Amino acid sequence: MIRQCISARIVLIAIVVLLTVPAGQRALAADDTAGVVSPNVGIKPVAEADYKPVVGKSGGRVVRDALGEPKSFNPITAGETSTTEFTARIFQTLLDQNPFTGEVRPLLAESFEVAADGVTWTFHLRHGVVFNDGTPLTAHDVEFTWNDLVYDLTRPAGTEERWPCSDRDACTFDGKIIKVEAVDDYTVRFTSPIKIAIFDKLAGFVPVLSKKTYEEMAKNGKFGGALGTDSKPEELVGTGPFMFGEYVRGQKVILKRNPHYWKKDAAGNSLPYLDILAFNIVRDTNTMLIDFQQGTSDVFGPRSGKDIAQLKPKQQEGNYSLYQFGPDDGDMFICFNQNLDAAKEGKIPDYKIQWFRDQRFRQAISLAIDRKAQVKNIRQNLGYEEPCTFTLAAGPFRQDGFAPRPYDPDKAKALLADMGFKPDADGIMHDAQGHELSFTLNTNSENEMRVQTMDFIRKDLEKIGIKVNGRPLEFNKLVDMMDVTFDFDAIVMGLTGGREPHFGANVWKSDSRLHMWWPRQKTPSTTWEKRIDELFTQGIQEMDKAKRKAIYREWVQIAYDQQPFIYLTVGEDTAVLRNRFGNIFPAPIGGLFHNEEEVFVK
Amino acid sequence: MRSYIIRRCIFAVVLVFISTIIAFTFLKLSPGKPGAADINPRVSQAYLDQQQRFYGLNRSPVTQYFSWLGVMRFIGKDTRGGLLQGDLGLSFKYQQPVAQVLKPRLLATLSLNIITMLFTWSVAVPLGIWAAVKQYKLPDKLLSLCSFTGMSLPGFFSALFLLWIFASHYHWLPAGGLVSLDHDTLGFFPRMLDYARHMILPIVVMTFGALASLQRYSRGNMLEVLREQYVTTARAKGLSESRVIYKHALRNAINPLVTMLGFEFAGLFGGAALLENVINYPGMGQLMLEALRAKDQCLVMTTFLLGSIMLNIGNLLAEILLAAVDPRVSYV
C-alpha cells in the first residue's frame, strides 16, 4: 500500500502489517550502508531539489484499493490506519514531515519557535486558511482541539476522559498535560510540563478541528461517538485538500475535492486538481493485485518479489511504472521469551529461560541463520539482510555502519559449546543437564512471508543440531501468548517503527506493553535493559539533534549486541502507478502521493 | 398439528438460549481477546484500557453475557440495551452497531444463496430423474462423471481456478466484491449486469458443488422408487412408461427431497466462509470468520444466534413439509 505524507500521523502510526512509507534509495547511494546493495527494478526517488510541480489541470480521480473498512472518521479517537488513511486527507496538522528528509516542515503553522526555557513553544498560524465549510482557521480552533478534544477538559470534574485518544496519552507526562492557549488569532502558545525534544513531532502532528462545529459535541460528551461511519459530509470539518464524500459499507469510500482548500498553484488556481479520491474496500492483498492488473485501481504496493516479477514485464501494456524507494521500515525478527516470572509460574521450563536469556545463545541463533538465502528465495532478491532496527530505512535517525550478521554455523556451534551444549549421537544438541535443545517457533499463519521465514530458520537451525518445531498460529492467539499467557518459546514477528526512535518506546522500555521478551517489568531485569530505559528518557529530552542521534545510536548498538530481537530481512519498498498522472515526484520517505493536492490527470 | 408446532417453538427458544450460553462460553474460553490484533506500538496502554471499558470488556464474562442479552439494562445496570431491548450491540472490530454491519452482508448472502438454490433445484432434480430413468446408459454415465467431479472438487479450489482464468488471466470478470466503483451512476440494466458480473463466479462454483450431490440424491431416490412393487404393478397394468414414471414414481421420489428443502432453508443466511474468502464476496461467511478471528463478541454472538434460529426454523419447516407431502407422517 502506498502512503502519502499529507500528515505525518499516517507515517508515525505504525502497524504490524509490513506496509510502510518508502525509504531512501538515493540516500543509500550517497553514504552506502555496509553491505547494502539495492536491486534495480524501478524508478527511484527524486532529489528534493528536483521537486518542481507544474501547473496541472483540474478533474479526474485516483482509484485505490483499501484494506478493510474504516472504523470511524474521527481523527482524535482513531487508533488504526484504516481510519487515518481517510482522516489524514480531511484534517490537517500544524506541521508535517518533509517527504524527502523526514524532518518537520510547516503546514498550518507558518513557523514555530521554542523559548530558552525549552518548555514554551509558540506556533504562528498561516493566514488565509479556511475549513471546508468556508470558516477561517484561527488559533482558537487549535486551543479548542487541544483542551476540549484531546484533553477533554470540559468533562465533569473528577471523572475520567470520555473518549480514548492516543495523542492525549503521548502528550501527557507523569500525569501532567500541556497547557495550550491562543495568544491572538494567529498565535498559539504551548507550555509543556517537561523539556521534550520531539515536542514539534508530538504537538505539531495532532489534527486541528473546527471549534464552531464540534464545541457543542465536546461539551455534552457526544464527541467520542461522533464522526462515525454514518457521518454526513458536512459533519467532517477540516482544512485538508479533500473532504468526505460517501461511505458504502463493504464497498467504497469516496473523498471529494475541498473547494475551499487554502493552497494555490503557481498560476493562482486553487488546489487540489483531483476531483475524487476513490477507495475500493477489499479484504485481501490478492484482490488488490488483480484489481491493479485489471485496471480497476491506479496504484498498488507489491508485497514481494513475486508480485514484481508479475508486474514488471507488463508495464508498457498496462500503462504503469514501477517505483522503488529502498528498504522498508518494517522489521521482521525472532523474539525469544526471557520472562523469568513466567518460568517461576511454570509456564515455560526454567532451563529454557536460562538458554534464552543467555546472550551467547541468541548470538548463536543469529549466526546460524542464512539471511542471504532468505532474501534470495523468500524476497526474490528484493530485500536486505537487516543488521538491527534503525539501520536500513532512510530517515534522520538511521544509524550507519552496522553490518548484517554473517552466516557462520561453525561459530554458532562454538558459542553453543561454550554454553555447555554437546551434540548426541544423532547430532542433536543437549545442554549440560541433558535437556535436548529444541524449541517451538511460532508465527501468525496468515502472513505468508513470516511462515516461509520460519521454515527457513527451522532448516538452518537443524543443521547445527537444534530441533525447531515451527507452528503457524492465528494472530490473536499469538498476541495472547505475547501479552497475557507468556507460555511461548520464540516467535517470528514484525513491527513497523516509523522514522522517530522515541515512538519505539512502547517496545523498548522495560515497563512497556510491547517489550515482547518480557513485557511490563517492574524493574529492568538486566543492566542493558536498564541502560535502554535511560537512553529513551534522555533521548526525548535532548534538544541537540546530533547528540540525540548519538543517544539512539547507543540504543541501536545495545540492541545489535544483545539481540533481544534477532533481526532477519526487510523488503524493498515498491509501488506501481499508472502513467496517467502528472506531478508525481517519488520521495524516499513520503512515497508517491506526498503532494497529492498537486497530482493531476494528464 | 398446531399444538405440536407451538410446543416445538417453545422448545426452540429454550434450545437457542442454551446454545448462546455455550457459544459465549467457548468464545470466552478460546485464547485471545478483542482488539488484541492491534499491536501498534503507538497505541498506549491507556488507550486500550479505555477502549476495553467502553465496550464493557473489563467486566466479568457472566456480566458481559447478561449485558449482551439485555438483562443488565433490564435491571438498570447498563446504559446500553441488549438483545431483550432489540439492540444487537456494538461490533468491536467495526466500531459500528452490529445490525448495521450485518444488513448488507445478509442481503449479499441471501441473494447468492437463493439464486444458487433456484439454479440447483431446477437443474439437479430433473437431471437426477433423467439419470435414474437412463440408468447405466450414456447420459447416466456422463452425469455420474460430472457429479463425482463436482462433489470431489472443493469449492475453494474451483473458485480459485475460475478466478485465475477469468479474473487474473483474461480479466473478463472482477476479482471480487459485489458491485464496481461506479455502480450507482449506472442505469438499471447496466446495474443488473454489474451485479451479474460479480455474482456469476460464486454462483457457478456453489451451484456446481451443490448440483452434484443433489443430482445424485434425486437419482438414488428415483431408482429406489422404480424398484417398488407398485411401479412393477403399474407397468404390468400396461401403462405407458412415461405415465409410470411421471405419474406414479416421480411424486414419491420427490417426497424426501422436499424435506431437504426445509433443511436448506436453515442455511440461507449461512455463508460459505471459505468460498466467500477466496472470491472476496462480502457475505455472511466471510463476516463470521473475521468476527471469530477478531473475537468480536457481539458480532459473533449475533451471527451465531441467527444461525441457530434459522436451523430451528428450517428443521420445523422440514417436518411440516414432510407431513404435508407424505400422508403417512403426522404429528400430534
Nearest to B41 among A14, A160, A250 (CB): A14
Residues of chain B in contact with residue A504, where contact means CB-CB under 8 angstroms, are: 41
Encode pLDDT of B236-246 as tens digits.
888 888 888 88
Burial class (CB in 10 A: 0-12, 13-18, 19+), B250: middle
Q: Determine the pLDDT at residue B332.
A: 63
Residue in B28, B40, B281 to test binding to A, most A beta-carbons within 10 Å: B40
Beta carbons of A475 and B105 less than 8 Å apart: no
Encode pLDDT of B117-127 as tens digits.
888 888 888 88
Beta carbons of A251 and B42 less than 8 Å apart: no
Residue A62 DSSP code: E
Residue of A nearest to B94 (CA): A71
Answer whether A350 touches B (CB < 8 Å).
Answer: no
Instruction: Say if residue B54's pLDDT is above 70.
Output: yes
Encode pLDDT of A421-466 as tens digits.
999 988 899 999 999 999 999 998 888 899 999 999 999 999 999 9
* Residues near A473 by beta carbon (within 8 Å), at least 6 away in sequence: A442, A443, A444, A445, A481
Encode pLDDT of A318-329 as tens digits.
999 999 998 888
Q: Determine the pLDDT at residue A488.
A: 94
Answer whether B178 touches A (CB < 8 Å).
Answer: yes
Beta carbons of A555 and A508 less than 8 angstroms apart: yes
Residue in A251, A331, A443 to test binding to B, most B beta-carbons within 10 Å: A251
What integer is the mean pLDDT of A96-112? 92
Q: Determine the pLDDT at residue B184.
A: 79
Residues of chain A in contact with residue B299, where contact means CB-CB under 8 angstroms, are: none
Q: Determine the pLDDT at residue A497.
A: 66
Residue A155 DSSP code: S
Burial class (CB in 10 A: 0-12, 13-18, 19+), A264: exposed
Beta carbons of B176 and A163 less than 8 Å apart: no
Beta carbons of B214 and B128 less than 8 angstroms apart: yes
Q: How far is A130 from chain B (nearest CA, A)?
A: 30
Beta carbons of B36 and A483 less than 8 Å apart: yes
What cell was used for A368? 546460524
Q: Determine the pLDDT at residue A582.
A: 92
Nearest to A290 among B45, B104, B168 (CB): B168
Beta carbons of B176 and A79 less than 8 Å apart: no
Amino acid at A551: I
Answer whether B179 touches A (CB < 8 Å).
Answer: yes
Answer whether A11 touches B (CB < 8 Å).
Answer: no
Residues of chain A in contact with residue B175, where contact means CB-CB under 8 angstroms, are: 286-287, 290-291, 294, 296
Beta carbons of B178 and A250 less than 8 Å apart: yes
Pairing relationship of beta strands A330-336 and A490-496 according to DSSP bridges: antiparallel
What integer is the mean pLDDT of A113-138? 92
Residues of chain B in contact with residue A476, where contact means CB-CB under 8 angstroms, are: 31-33, 36-37, 293-295
Answer whether B45 touches A (CB < 8 Å).
Answer: yes
What is the signed CA dihedral for A403, A405, A410, A416, rounded to 10 degrees? 120
Answer whether B46 touches A (CB < 8 Å).
Answer: yes
Encode pLDDT of A150-165 as tens digits.
999 998 888 888 888 8
Beta carbons of A284 and B280 less than 8 Å apart: yes
Residue of B nearest to A253 (CA): B181
Give the angle A481-A561-A376 at the CA atoms, nearest 5°.
75
Q: How far is B38 from chain A (nearest CA, A)?
A: 8
Burial class (CB in 10 A: 0-12, 13-18, 19+), B2: exposed
Beta carbons of A71 and B47 less than 8 Å apart: no
Beta carbons of B37 and A484 less than 8 Å apart: no
What distance in Å separates the CA atoms of residue A503 and residue A397, rounded to the nearest whole number? 12
Q: What is the DSSP string of A330-386?
A: EEEEEEE---HHHHHTTSS-HHHHHHHH-HHHHHHHHHH--HHHHHHHTSTT-EEE-
- % of chain A surpassing 70 pLDDT: 93
Beta carbons of B43 and A166 less than 8 Å apart: yes
Q: Determine the pLDDT at residue A2.
A: 40
Beta carbons of B82 and B71 less than 8 angstroms apart: yes
Answer whether B164 touches A (CB < 8 Å).
Answer: no
Is the bond preceding residue A272 a cis peptide, omega within 30 degrees? yes
Please choose, from the candidates B154, B177, B140, B188, the residue with its C-alpha nearest in 3D space to the C-alpha of residue B275. Answer: B154
Encode pLDDT of A395-433 as tens digits.
889 999 999 999 999 999 999 999 999 999 888 999 999
Amino acid at A144: F
ipTM of the complex: 0.78
Tell me the residues of chain A between 210 and 239 that have a Cβ less than 8 Å away from chain B: 224, 228-230
What integer is the mean pLDDT of A145-153? 92
Answer whether A103 touches B (CB < 8 Å).
Answer: no
What integer is the mean pLDDT of A158-177? 87
* Residues near A331 by beta carbon (within 8 Å), at least 6 away in sequence: A386, A389, A494, A495, A496, A497, A565, A567, A570
By residue count, chain A amounts to 602
Instruction: Say if residue A21's pLDDT is above 50.
Output: no
Residues of chain B in contact with residue A497, where contact means CB-CB under 8 angstroms, are: 41
Tell me the residues of chain A between 373 and 412 that have a Cβ less than 8 Å away from chain B: none
Tell me the residues of chain A between 70 and 89 that have a Cβ less than 8 Å away from chain B: 71-72, 79-80
Count the helices and strands in chain B (H runs, E runs): 14, 2
Nearest to A252 among B44, B174, B181 (CB): B181
Mean pLDDT score of chain B: 84
Encode pLDDT of A311-355 as tens digits.
999 999 999 999 999 888 888 999 999 999 999 999 999 999 999
Beta carbons of B95 and A72 less than 8 Å apart: yes
Nearest to B32 among A224, A477, A514 (CB): A477
- According to DSSP, the residues that pair with A336 across neighbouring strands are A490
Q: Determine the pLDDT at residue A15.
A: 33
What distance in Å separates the CA atoms of residue B81 and residue B95, rounded to the nearest whole number? 16
Mean pLDDT score of chain A: 87
Q: Determine the pLDDT at residue A31.
A: 35
User: CB pairs below 8 Å between A and B: how many?
Assistant: 146
Residues of chain A in contact with residue B44, where contact means CB-CB under 8 angstroms, are: 166, 169-170, 506
Beta carbons of A169 and B295 less than 8 Å apart: no
Residue in B98, B107, B181, B184 to test binding to A, most A beta-carbons within 10 Å: B181
Instruction: Say if residue A275's pLDDT is above 80.
Output: yes
pTM: 0.83
Q: Determine the pLDDT at residue B38.
A: 62
Give the angle B104-B105-B109 at the CA atoms, nearest 5°.
120
Residue of A nearest to B293 (CA): A476
Answer whether A485 touches B (CB < 8 Å).
Answer: yes
Answer whether B242 touches A (CB < 8 Å).
Answer: no
Give the residue, A225 or A400, on which the prediction is more confident: A400
CA torsion sign for A130, A132, A134, A140 is negative
Beta strands in A101-174 (DSSP E): 104-106, 109-114, 120-125, 172-173
Answer whether B282 touches A (CB < 8 Å).
Answer: yes
Residue in B39, B169, B277 to test binding to A, most A beta-carbons within 10 Å: B39
What distance in Å separates the CA atoms of residue A287 and residue B278, rounded to the nearest whole number? 9
Nearest to B44 among A166, A249, A287 (CB): A166
Tell me the residues of chain A between 165 and 184 that have a Cβ less than 8 Å away from chain B: 165-166, 168-170
Q: What is the DSSP string of B104-149?
A: HHHHHHHHHHHHHHHHHHHHHHHHHHHHHHTTTSHHHHHHHHHHHH
Q: Determine the pLDDT at residue A37.
A: 56
* Residues near B321 by beta carbon (within 8 Å), at least 6 away in sequence: B258, B259, B261, B262
Beta carbons of A290 and B37 less than 8 Å apart: no
Instruction: Say if residue B263's pLDDT is above 90.
Output: no
Answer whether B111 touches A (CB < 8 Å).
Answer: no
Task: State the helix-helix crossing angle for B188-226 and B98-133, rounded to 10 degrees.
Answer: 50
Instruction: Say if residue A1's pLDDT is above 70.
Output: no
What integer is the mean pLDDT of B62-82? 83
Q: What's the pLDDT band for A30 if we cut at 50, 70, 90?
A: very low
Answer whether B174 touches A (CB < 8 Å).
Answer: yes
Beta carbons of B181 and A278 less than 8 Å apart: yes
